[in-house]
Amino acid sequence: MTAVIDARIHWPAERRFYTGMAFLMLGAVLLGFSRTFFLAPWFPEAAHLAPPEPYFFYVHGVFFTAWILLLIVQPLLVANRRVDVHRKVGWFGAGLAAVVVTVGVTGALIAASRPGGFIGVPIPPLQFLAIPLTDLALFALFVVLAITQRRDPQRHKRLMLLATIGLLDAAVTRFPFGDMSAPIAGSMFNVTDLCVDLFLVPIIVWDIVSRGRVHVVTLAGGLAIIASQPLRLMLSETNVWLSFANWAVGLLAK
């Protein structure tokens, strides 16, 4: 049955889709961090949005950008019939993912330990810490699953996209389009959540066009991302989370 479905897929179109998705996410990252990272010298009025620990967060930005660029390079290697290089770069990507998680967790703890907490975020820092740590936990889960499913290209590719979508919160919330943290009336979601979830739509459309149905990885992974958004806020208000967050932030002082 799988062979019949796969035969319907137009492979050049599929490579264009995955490359296009990677460029779309790169565009979101460039837009979100243009004023405080990529084009910071041209936006002096946004200096108050930049972190007070610039050198660490420059490194942080380089590794996260490298991950997005990896998503662009990998399908291009396959398109040029360099599957051997694609596989070697894939193991580099696994190491890069580990660095992304390590740097991401460290950056979140640094931000949470500041007197003013996360820049431009009115939520108490120990509570808000649940958001980046949940994003990084989902990212790690999706990447590990993608590695274990590397012999199943359809699962592997979707898991890699889902892992990256789960990291887009930080970029999207910095879009220069007003208050991206504004809640959506009648729901537990905010504008940032909605914008991040919209990145799932092209994958769903691609699944239906190319396979006639939504792939199980898209469905399960997409629901995990969407469900995590209100659940992490509920978690952040519990005494268990606040105790854990206080302990985790305290590790920086040791």
Tens-place pLDDT, residues 69-117: 998 888 777 777 777 777 788 788 899 999 999 999 999 999 999 887 7
As a whole number of angstroms, the distance between CA 113 and CA 250 comes to 8
Q: Do residues 201 and 213 make contact, with C-beta atoms less than 8 angstroms apart?
A: no
Q: Look up tokens 């995990």; give the residue.
A: 224
pTM of the model: 0.89
Walk along the chain (254 residues) and give the pLDDT tens digit of each residue: 444 445 445 558 888 899 899 999 999 999 999 888 878 778 777 666 667 766 888 888 899 999 999 988 887 777 777 777 777 887 888 999 999 999 999 999 999 998 877 877 788 999 999 999 999 999 999 999 999 998 898 999 999 999 999 999 989 998 988 888 888 888 889 999 999 999 999 999 999 999 999 999 999 999 999 999 999 999 999 999 999 999 999 987 66
Q: Indicate whether 55 belongs to any domain.
A: yes
- Overall domain count for the chain: 1
Q: Range of 48's domain?
A: 8-253
Per-residue pLDDT, 71: 86
163 class by beta-carbon count within 10 Å (0-12 exposed, 13-18 middle, 19+ buried): buried
Q: Indicate whether 198 belongs to any domain.
A: yes
Q: Indicate whether 3 belongs to any domain.
A: no
Per-residue pLDDT, 2: 44
Q: Indicate whether 191 belongs to any domain.
A: yes
Side-chain-side CA neighbours of 97 within 13 Å: the count stands at 25
Q: Indicate whether 78 belongs to any domain.
A: yes
Per-residue pLDDT, 232: 95
Side-chain-side CA neighbours of 206 within 13 Å: the count stands at 24
Q: Look up tokens 């199943």; give the residue.
A: 152
Per-residue pLDDT, 253: 67
Is the sign of the CA dihedral 43, 49, 50, 52 positive or negative? positive
Q: Indicate whether 1 belongs to any domain.
A: no
Q: Indicate whether 2 belongs to any domain.
A: no
Could you tell me which of 28, 26, 22 has the C-alpha nearest to residue 79? Answer: 22
Per-residue pLDDT, 1: 40
Q: Do residues 237 and 56 make contact, with C-beta atoms less than 8 angstroms apart?
A: no
Q: Indicate whether 54 belongs to any domain.
A: yes
Assign 183 to helix, strand or coil: strand
Give one DSSP letter per residue of 13-61, joined into a string: HHHHHHHHHHHHHHHHHHHHHIIIIITGGG-GGGGGGS-S-HHHHHHHH
